[in-house]
Structure 1
C-alpha cells in the first residue's frame, strides 16, 4: 500500500470520473437484494474475523468501518450505531448491499480505492454525492497477499475535519490484517480442495471439477467438457449444484455435459461430469492444434519423461501440453499463485508428482512467484510421474533453469510462421468451429489471411473464423467477407526463396536473443546487409 493523502487534485480527478459515469450529486444510493456476503464469503469471513475484536473498542469513538466486495457493494458496517455518527450513517441509507462503486456513488473512499487500486483520503466537500459531505474517510483496497487480486475495499469513516493521519493509519493497519486473514483462509481452502480432489479422482476415470473459494481444479477429461465455460460460470454451476437445482444434470446450461454427482466437503464443491447424449460439437480449446498437431507434439506424446512446451500466447501451448499428457492428466494452473512464505501450492504439487499415476500439467510456469521456483525444481527432481510444463517464449533465467530439467522440449511456432500449413489449419479450424456448416475460403481469401501478422495466433484465428462463418452461413468466404481488420495486406507477398530467407533470419535473431550483430555473424552476412533484408522482408523484433 502506498501513502496517499487527501488533496484537491485527487478530488477533481475523482469528480471528472464521476461525471463521465453520469452520476449526479443528488443521486440516491443503489442497493441489491442479492446475498452479497455469501457471494464474497472468503472476504466477509476475513473481515468479520479481523473486526470482531476492534468493534468493542469503537464504543466511545465516532468511527465506523465499511467493508465492500470487489464490485463496491457493502458487506459489513462496524461501529457505534447509537452514536451521532451512527445516526447520520443510518439516515443516509448506508447498509449491507448498498453500492459505493464510483459509477454508482461518485468519488468516495470505497469507490476510489477500488478504481485506483491504492489508499485514498476523501474529506467532507471532496465527496461527489451531497449525502456524503458530512463525512471524512480513508479507503484502502483489500488484495489477496499471494495472488494480488483485489477482493474489495475497507473504508474508515468519521465526521468531516478529522485528523487524516489517524484515519489513514487505522485503515492501513486493519487492511493489512484483513489481507493476512484472507490469505490464510485461501491457502487452507486450496489445500482442502486439492485433498478432496485427489480423494475423488484416485484410481477412477471420468471428468471431475473441484470448486473452492479461490481455486478451481479440473482434470483433463473435465477440461474437454467445460472448456467453453469461464471461472465465473463454473462457480455459478457449482452453486446451482449445491442448491439441488440440477435435477438429472444440466445440459442446457453447461452445453454438452451433465452433472452426474455433487459432493461437498470442508467448503469445497466437487462435481462429477458426464458427456451428454445430446452433445453438440463443442468449441475448440483455444490454441489447440485443430486436428493438425505438430510432429514434435506427437513425438513428445509417445516419448517418456517430462516435457516443456514453449510458445507465444495463443499458439496452442496449453492444448499441446494436454495432448502430450493424455486424457487423465491433472491440470495445475499457476496464475501468479502464492507468496514465497506459503508452501501450500508446492506441497500440493509434491503430493501429486511423488506417486506414480496420471501426468501433471503445470500451466504457465513463468507466472509462478520467482522465489518458489527452487521448490518447483526440487519437486521435479523427486517426482515419479510425468510432468508437462508450459511457458512463454524467452523465459527468465530462473524459469529456464526449471525448464532445463525436462527431458523433452517442444517449441511451438507462431501462426505467422506456419505459412505452408496455413490452408490446412484454416480448414480444420472452420470445421471445428462450425461443424457441418463450415464455410470454404476462396484462394484469394486464404492468401490474404495467410499474410496477416496474427499476434493472437490460433486464438485470433478462431475468432476470425467464427465471425466470418456466421456471415457466410456455410457458403464461400471471399476477401469481401473478411473482417476489415484482417482484409488488408499484412505483408508483401513472398516467393518461396524469400520465405525461406525470412525464416532463416528470424531463427537467427531468436537464437541470438535479438542481437543483430550475433545474428549477422551466424548468417554469414554483414550487419548492413542484415538491416537491409530486415527492412525488405518487413521483419520486426516480434517476428
Structure 2
C-alpha cells in the first residue's frame, strides 16, 4: 500500500541491489528485473542527466487525433488534483501532455516531460511509461523505484492501450504527479481510462467508421477549419482547429450529428453567431462535420490567400526552391531533408505554374500506415504512382524498413517513371545516406528558419494572410526585432502556430512585444560576435548529437561554459 511506502528505504535497497548485481543473481520481482534491464542499457543511474527528445514531426499525430477528444474529457476531470495525464506511443515517445492546474504543470516541467520526450526504459530507466511498454501491463513506479534520480519525488502510474482484436500495443496512458500517500488509487483509475480508450478504438474499426476516419484525415489536412468526426457510442475525433470551439458549441454540433440528417449544409446558431456546417454522413452511425465561418463574418471577411512556396527571397531559400522546381520536372526520386516544420511538404506541393511543369500533385502521408496498415498503404501509394501527377510522400521517417523496401519495389517496377518527392525529417547523415542508396535518390536540404531569418517578414505576411486574414496582424518594429532574434526551434510551423494563437485569442491589428509568448519576449538583439558564438554552439551540439560533454570537447571549452551559454541563448540541445 502507498501508506507504508518508505522512499528512502527503497532508494537504499535499489543502490544495494545494483551494486551487488551479478549475472547469476535471481530476479525476485518485476521491479528488480526492470532495474537490471536499465543498468544493462544505461549503466549507473547518474549517467542520466536529462530526458532526450524527438522532433514533433516524428510523433504519431494520428494516435493523438484518435484519442484526443476522450483524453480532453478525462483531463478536465483531473483539474485541481495535481495529476497530469500523458499519452505516449508504443516506443515511449510522449505525444501529448495534459496539466489542468499549476501543480501538475510544474511537476511535468520539473521532470522534463514535454511533447516529444522519450521515456523508453532503455533510455531513462524504470518509469511509468517505458516499463509499461516493456511489460505490456499496468505499472506504478513511486519515488526512488524510478531508475533515474530526478524522478525520485514523482509517482508514475501507467497502463497499456491495446487493440481489442489484434492485441497490438497502440499507446501508453500514464498519470504522473508528485509523491502522494494515496497513490494506490491511481492504478484502477488509469485502468478505467485505458479500457474506455480501447472501446473507442473498436468504435472506429468498423468499415463505415474507417471510411469516416479517412474522410476526417483528408479534410483536416487540406482545409484550415475545425473538423469533427462522430462515430458509434458517442466516439468523437477532433482536428487541432476544433479544439478552439466552446464546449457549448461542440454539444450543439454533436446533437446535429445525432439527428442523422442527410449529407448537406446546415445553419446552426453557435456562440459566435450563425455558422454553416457541412455534414457528411458515412453509414448509419458515422458523420464528419466541417465548421465554416459565421454567416455575417463571411460577407465582410477577406478570404484566405493560399500560401505559396515563394514566401521568401533570401538566396538560401530561393536556391532550395529552384532545386525543388527542377526536381518536379525529372522522373526520379528525390529526398527533401530538413528539421521539423521547415516547409518541406509545402515546397514539394505548392510550385507556381510554369510551362513544362507538372502542376498537379498528390500527397501520400506515410503516417497513415500506422492507421490503415502497410499493405493497404502501399496499395494506395501504388495507385498514386500510376497517375500523371507529381507524387509527394510525406514523412518517410515514420516508415519501418519493410515498408520502405516495399515502397522502393513499387517505384522500381513502375512502367512509366514520374517525379517522386519524399520528405524526410532527420539530422542523421547516415540515415540520409542509407535512403539515398535505397531509392537511388538525391537529397535536397531545406534550411531551418534561423538560417534564412531575413525571410521572416515575408513569411509573417504570407501566413497572416493565409491563416487569419480578418485579424490583419502586423508586428510592430520592436516585435519584429524580437522575432528576428528568436531561435525558432519549431521553424515555420511554430510561426504559423503563433499567428493562429494570436488570432484565436481575439488579437487584431498591431502585434506588440507583450502579445508574444514569454520565450519570445525575452529575446534580445545579438551582436555579431554573439551570433557567431550561438551558431558555433548549435553546430557543435548537432555534431555531438546533443551530448553536451562532447560538444564542449569540440568547442575546446569547459562543460560549465557550454551549460552557461546554452542557458543564456536558450538552446535546448535537442
TM-score in terms of structure 2 length: 0.47
Q: Rg: which structure is higher? A: 1
